[in-house]
Amino acid sequence: MARMQALCLFLLLWASIGEAEYFKYQDPEQRLAIRIKDLLERMTLEEKIGQMTQIERKVATPQILKDYFIGSVLSGGGSVPQPQAAPEVWVNMVNEFQRGSLSTRLKIPMIYGIDAVHGNNNVFNATIFPHNVGLGATRDPELVKKIGKATALEVRATGIHYAFAPCIAVCRDPRWGRCYESYSEDPKIVQEMTEIIPGLQGDIPANGVKGVPYVAGRKKVAACAKHYVGDGGTQKGINENDTIISRQDLLRIHMPAYYNSIIKGVSTIMVSYSSWNGIKMHANRELITDFLKNELKFRGFVISDWEGIDRITTPPKANYTYSVETSINAGIDMVMVPNDYESFIGNLTDLVNKNVISMNRIDDAVTRILRVKFSMGLFENPYGDLNLYDQLGKKKHRKLARKAVRESLVLLKNGKSPQETIIPLAKKASRILVAGIHADNIGLQCGGWTIDWQGQSGNITGGTTILKAIKSTVDPDTLVIHAQFPSVSFVIENDFAYAIVVVGESPYAETNGDNLNLTLPAPGPSIIKNVCENVKCVVIIISGRPLVIEPYVPMIDALVAAWLPGSEGKGVSDVLFGDYGFTGKLPRTWFKSVDQLPMNVGDEHYDPLFPFGFGLTTESTTV
């Protein structure tokens, strides 16, 4: 009898082990659809809603991820494990969260997201590439694809799986504080630049299914096309405002890059804070479910923006239950909560139990989230790799960023007449002046979304300032004098051969960058006047968009739009001194006055200071 009981116990144990070993969803040899179906059928409502929840790392713990079955964690702008954290610190933090997720009953891994919008820009010593407006000036999709590949490696170096990039907004008004996140005012250029997606994720296989997310292994990341849709067309360029436009024009101007993104297998799409004709995008079922999911056949997941569902009401969170109901029924699959996860989970659970939100809608959301996680191999490789630490700020990536800088620079003026060209500048001179507060400042060079959400002034991360680049490029006998605010007498008395003036905007992000006048910020105008009226000068504008510069152009010998070039200032000196030629073309119209705005190429009354596509070229002087 005892032997029989022991045998029965052994058979039961063997059967349970066998079942655990042969869960279909845990078998990478099974087809994707079978794995998703098998796992979904095993999940409780609590586990499903947990997958739909994304929380900020500041409120996350491994225990919270376990207890609430949290599907995703993120770092908001500037949210880091510690100041100047090394890659290993990031990897260990992400892996610790992952251990919490893998200690759950079904062992569903969480996905960690970060705003890697111009390199892995939250992370100290990462390579910071030019912001998108500069990349639009390159007209070089292959370069942008390589930047995506490098960014993916630098994100994976920190153990992170998911980048909230690219922004494929079509900025139609430079007063918008996010205009530098847009490649161009021209939808065709934005479409071309979606080539960053296969850079981030990998090229989809020849037999890949249109609309199905694809991430090619552990050195790639899930990408996120954003912000769906019309975020660059708001009235007066006011962030999160209303885009008042016909459906035909919405589809013609703001939608085309989403078609390309979906074809290229983008994993996720983020919804815009803005409205379309008075309807908040986070509440727009017609565009999220009917058009994006059903008509365009997008099979990845739709994610909200930061507290995006809260802003369905005015003021935000005035009726949070309504916001949860409306956003989920509109088709949002994962909600960037990011802090009050208990309220979100409680409200959503209650709405499902009351049949206000159907189980079919929940299952659609979770199916999409699982599809991305399975597609990127997260179940097989959930942990970050400490061996990728050397990819962060890698010399090869900095060389690529330097190339991107020189291709992004747009030469707007070269000499007061065709016979008086000043660029390329002479490397050998007795003394030259480098003026302006932007000349020796990595933070100002990089702009917003760098180390902090709003960016910072100062040498906040690794890189080469424009001043250092100039000093390393000119002849060793040339004396380079840096003066942030040179007086007229200083300029005259020092008998400079020429001057390089580097001025522009201070860093900003999102609403803090909204600007209804777009004048060149002080002390830029006075520096230009003091210097350029008294010595030959090149003025370099560091900005996220065109600014009002018409009054100063006559006194300037050469004028360069450098946008927000990032960490590699040598890209600027490369073309100033003729080692490479200028090739960049304006990705957006340079207006004369803000009274003309919005003004875009093709408009009936088009009268710019410099038209869309303008850019003088120079030849390399190197043999």
Per-10-residue mean pLDDT, the chain, length 623: 48 48 92 98 98 98 98 97 98 98 98 98 98 99 98 98 98 98 98 98 90 94 98 98 98 98 98 98 98 97 98 97 98 98 98 98 98 98 97 98 99 92 97 98 98 98 98 98 98 98 98 98 98 98 98 98 98 98 98 98 97 97 75
The strand pairing partners of 507, in sequence order, are none
Q: Which pLDDT belongs to residue 622?
A: 80
DSSP run (H or E) holding 72: strand 72-75
- DSSP 8-state symbol, 251: I
Tokens of 602: 């093709």
Q: Which pLDDT belongs to residue 295?
A: 97
**φ, ψ for residue 240 (rounded to 5)?**
70, 15
Q: Which pLDDT belongs to residue 498?
A: 98
Distance CA 282, CA 328 (A): 9
Q: Which pLDDT belongs to residue 22?
A: 85
Q: Which pLDDT belongs to residue 208?
A: 82
Q: Which pLDDT belongs to residue 6?
A: 46
Distance CA 166, CA 170 (A): 12
Answer for the pair 73, 97: CB distance below 8 angstroms, yes or no.
yes
Q: Which positions are catalytic?
A: 305, 510
Distance CA 568, CA 519 (A): 26
Q: Which pLDDT belongs to residue 18?
A: 45
Q: Closest Cα partner for 610 from 618, 621, 619, 601?
A: 601
| Region at 510 (left for phi over 0; alpha for psi -120 to 50; beta for the rest) | left
Q: Which pLDDT belongs to residue 417?
A: 87
Kindly list the distances between the CA atom of residue 188 and the CA atoms of 247, 393, 394, in Å, as whole numbers in the listed order: 18, 31, 32
pTM, full prediction: 0.96
Give me the helix-helix angle, 341-353 and 320-330, nearest 10°. Answer: 70
Q: Which pLDDT belongs to residue 21?
A: 64
